[in-house]
A and B are shown apart, each in its own frame.
Chain A
């Protein structure tokens, strides 16, 4: 455990020091929140929504987005460690790759949850009302699961990537679709029927719905199903990430 903690500590230290990265990665979610939230608030009616407006509907989606992007990015960051040689220092130590991978994953998840929390706090100023403390805790639980799931996913990808050239490709063809299909921006009930199966194999869908249940008290999918599905995806991602990272060459 102390090795996992060591790796975690390094990730968090690096994160806290990179002020520009913290501010920078808040940019896009805040922009989405303001532009879509205020722009569409009076236009869009959520079908069957329990009285919530679009801005409130959108907040959980944007929080999930923030956690998603930060965690994938932090996972992929081991490519930088590879390129700057630091990974060798870690790999030549008498520790298992599993410990390294878990530390990296938890570090990435932590920074991702902090980014998500920033969005949550900003949302409180623009009209989100918290229903209960337990709902708040539920939201954080789902944020944490999204963070772990996608940090592990990032490491899995990074283990297969040679350098940062493929990064844009991953962002455009993997991460954006995950975000787009998740029901972060629109209710999944209103999607055409043939798209629904795609949203249901998207782990983020369950994360978004889970956070939505926590913050708004309503969700399109039962929160326990969300929890079970997202947990299962998270475990699979950790296993896949660990296996690929174990085989990764330096």
Chain B
């Protein structure tokens, strides 16, 4: 993808972004609502024409060969896109026919996929009787029916309860491992991006501000923190030292020690405490999260940013929605 840009009037939703996605990886676009994630996905899936720039999906140019791109992608939209008046099976069947999958293969795959997402028993039920999680699973199954090389998931777990989210994450990982499907997902949930993605691009106001593996991104932001509660906190703060400790501060009976690779050094640290004869009440490790990464790059938390950008974008894109 090179310099992909989309403008709506004066508003630039996606501003000359470029990135490469490797075959078989789970790639995350992380950013607040309205950052340009869905617009990017819409362009890659040929639903929107880019204002400028170009991109290839599965080696196929998105503007020159739209049908070629469409055949090689599956997509689960942010907003529900099932026909509620049809049954689960009929929704799948409709999709299979649209992608011209021959009857026998179609029926076999539908059965397999409905089993995979555990909706086999409800296949004859109308979708309007389904819960949010069931609908999402059905949509993922549908997106896989024509065996796409690339699967787009736009906010796959938006509005789902924690249990269902966990369930879906497992599905997504399994799919990626067993079928080798390249997955591109957008999310504004930090934990989702962290747990699922091999690589993440952080996107804000239409531009990519950082891109790497979650681990690397977090490392770049800075050091881990170990917090120690101890009656000897003042002494610890003054005396503790090691090559991998970058600083220690004491307040309210607690010491916060900044260091690199906390997991690796925690046993050594505990031993140091023992050698010095400190009394320790409790120890906790805090690793930087993607939230810290976002804060670091944008100077604001993802939540703070959401209201403003989301409203702007909704107005542009979803004026017709209620």
Contact pick for A85, options B46, B80, B95, B98, CB 8 Å: B80
A163–B320 CB distance below 8 A: yes
CB distance from B44 to the nearest CB of A (A): 11
C-alpha spacing A88/B81, complex, angstroms: 7
Asked if A18 is at the interface (CB within 8 A of a chain B CB), the reply is yes
* Interface residue B71 (Cβ < 8 Å from any Cβ of A): yes
B65 CB to nearest chain A CB (Å):
10
Contacts A88-B81, A92-B70; is A10 near B86 (CB within 8 Å)?
yes
Given A88-B47, A94-B99, A250-B47; A10-B83 close (CB under 8 Å): yes
Answer yes or no: B153 CB below 8 A from chain A CBs. no
Q: Among residues 41 to 98 in chain B, which have CB atoms less than 8 Å away from a CB atom of chain A?
A: 45-47, 66-68, 70-71, 73, 75, 77, 79-86, 90, 94-95, 97-98
The reply on A3 being an interface residue by CB < 8 A is yes
The answer to whether B97 and A6 touch across the interface, beta carbons within 8 angstroms, is yes
Complex Cα distance A195/B86, Å? 46
Q: Which of A5, A84, A92 has the most CB of B within 10 A?
A: A92
* A1-47, CB < 8 A from B: 2-3, 5-6, 9-10, 13-14, 17-18
**Docked pose: A92 CA to B46 CA in angstroms:** 7
| Bound: A158/B79 CA distance, A | 20
| Residue A131 CB within 8 A of the other chain | no
- Chain B CB count within 10 A is highest, among A10, A90, A94, for A94
Q: How far is the CA of A156 from the CA of B122 in the complex (A)?
A: 37
Q: Which of A82, A86, A250 contacts B82 (CB 8 A)?
A: A86
CA distance A82 to B95 in the complex (A): 17
Q: Is the CB of B99 within 8 A of A85?
A: no
Q: Does B322 contact A (CB under 8 A)?
A: yes
Is the interface on chain B under 10, 10 to 19, 20 to 34, or 35 or more residues?
20 to 34
Picked from B45, B83, B97, B321, the residue with its CB within 8 Å of the CB of A92 is B45
Chain A interface size band reads 20 to 34
Chain B CB within 10 A, most for which of A5, A6, A86 = A86
When distances are taken between beta carbons in the complex, the residues of chain B under 8 Å from A94 are: 66-68, 70-71, 98-99
Nearest residue in A to B80 (C-beta to C-beta)? A85
Please name all residues of chain B whose beta carbon is closer than 8 Å to the beta carbon of A134 when the two chains form the complex: none
Q: How far is the CB of B36 from chain A (nearest CB, A)?
A: 17
Is A91 an interface position by the 8 A CB rule? yes
Once bound together, how far apart are the Cα atoms of A9 and B70, in whole Å?
23
In whole angstroms, how far apart are the Cα atoms of A2 and B102 in the complex? 11
- Asked whether, in the complex, the Cβ of A93 is within 8 Å of the Cβ of B99, the reply is yes
Q: Is B159's beta carbon under 8 Å from chain A?
A: no
Residues from chain B with Cβ under 8 Å of A6 in the complex: 94, 97-98
Answer yes or no: B251 CB below 8 A from chain A CBs: no
Distance (whole angstroms) from the CB of B197 to the closest CB of chain A: 23
For the complex, what is the distance from the CA of A82 to the CA of B79, rounded to whole Å?
A: 11
Q: How far does the alpha carbon of A85 sit from the alpha carbon of B45 in the complex, in Å?
A: 15
Q: Does B277 contact A (CB under 8 A)?
A: no
Contacts of B70 in A (CB 8 A): 92-94
Contacts of B321 in A (CB 8 A): 83
Which chain B residues lie closer than 8 Å to A88 at the CB level? 47, 77, 81
Q: With an 8 A cutoff between CB atoms, is A52 at the interface? A: no
| Distance of B164 from chain A, by nearest CB (Å) | 19
B66 contacts which chain A residues (CB < 8 A)? 94
Q: Which of A158-214 contact B (CB under 8 A)?
A: 162-163
Residue numbers in A under 8 Å from B142 (CB-CB)? 89
Contact with A2, one of B81, B85, B95, B97 (Cβ below 8 angstroms)? B97
In the complex, whether A137 has a CB less than 8 A from a CB of chain B is no
Q: What is the CA–CA distance of A6 and B320 in the complex, to the nearest angstrom?
A: 28
Q: By the criterion CB–CB under 8 Å, are A90 and B320 in contact? A: no
Residue among B73, B83, B95, B98 with the most chain A CB within 10 A? B98
- Measured CB to CB, the closest approach of chain A to B217, in angstroms, equals 31
Contact assessment for B320 and A162 in the assembled complex, using a CB-CB cutoff below 8 Å:
yes
B89 shortest CB reach to chain A, Å: 12
Give the Cβ gap from B112 to chain A, nearest Cβ, in Å.
Answer: 20
Judged by a CB distance under 8 angstroms, whether A95 is at the interface is yes
Q: Are A83 and B85 in contact (CB under 8 A)?
A: no
Across the interface, do A84 and B84 meet the contact criterion of CB distance under 8 Å? yes
A13 touching B95, Cβ below 8 Å: no
Other A-B contacts than A14-B86, A86-B81, 17 sampled, CB-CB below 8 A, are: A6-B94, A6-B98, A10-B83, A85-B79, A86-B83, A89-B77, A89-B81, A90-B98, A92-B45, A92-B46, A92-B47, A92-B75, A93-B70, A94-B67, A94-B70, A94-B71, A163-B322
Going nearest first, the 7 A-B pairs with the smallest beta carbon separation are A85-B81, A94-B70, A6-B97, A93-B98, A162-B320, A94-B67, A89-B81
Can you sample 21 A-B contacts with CB below 8 Å?
A3-B97, A6-B98, A10-B83, A14-B85, A17-B85, A83-B321, A84-B80, A84-B81, A84-B84, A85-B79, A88-B81, A89-B77, A89-B81, A89-B142, A91-B47, A93-B95, A93-B98, A93-B99, A94-B67, A94-B70, A95-B98
